Amino acid sequence: MTDTKPLALVTGASSGIGYELAKQFAQHGFDLVIDAEDPTIDTAAAKLRAEGAEVTAVQADLRTPDGIEQLWTRVQGLGRPLDAAALNAGVGRGGAFVDTDWADDLEVMQLNVVSTAALLKLVLVQMTGRNAGRVLVTSSIAATMPGAYQPVYNASKSFVQSLTEAVQQELKDSAVTITALMPGPTDTEFFSRADLDDTAIGQGPKDDPAEVAAQGFEALMAGEEKVLAASLKTKVQGAANKVLPDSLKSSAHEAMAKPRD
């Protein structure tokens, strides 16, 4: 990698919102470190290099402490400061809490909660030491409602949103900015991986991940605290969830996420 361009880290970058975020960085003059657990990260890297970016691809499973360490070691090994980071890696699991396997629930928490918090700390320690940098954390509209039939995922995103907002307050006098990206249902592999295909939310309309990423990138560069992306429907739902009682939101989520069989 050269040191003439700013450097960005993007996790969960092999497909979906993560890949589109990486593409946004590449198209706006950043070099990249990208991570995913699957070997398709190398395919993503090749596409991103075609956008003009120097790309370091890391295949590491962030559900594990070793995976987090592997990724961060690669970042540090470049000898360059991070100018931006998009902590996007996440996974879901549909189904009633008593029916899902604990191992699957734990994977959701390890990736969405533990790895996000760990990498956020590592990134911010470096950035605050320089008093420069921007971080985008992929939260979700799910953070605003109890998630009946997707309980651990929604709870994990509530943690991510709360953590992000708390650290924003702590760094309010810093030049380092943190932005929460809160997508609604988006057309990615998330729903099939989460076993949500046979649900209203899995079969319903979804936002374009490229549009979600573009809005997220724009908000990041503007230093905004959060962005509800991408459609008007998602923005309206986010506004409504500020005033609706939790019992009503949980009931609405049940209608969206309960299997139809």
Q: Is 233:37 a contact under the CB 8 Å cutoff? A: no
Q: How many CB atoms lie within 10 A of CB 251?
A: 13
Q: What are phi and psi of 62, to 5 degrees?
A: -75, 0
- Structure tokens belonging to residue 138: 């992929």
Say which residue the tokens 């374009």 belong to.
208
Q: One of 72, 153, 190, 217 is an active-site residue; which one?
A: 153
d(CA 221, CA 223): 5
Q: Is 153 a catalytic residue?
A: yes
Length of the chain: 261
Contacts of 217 (CB under 8 A, 6+ apart): 21, 24, 25, 28, 136
- Which tokens is 208 given? 């374009």
| Catalytic residue positions, numbered | 153
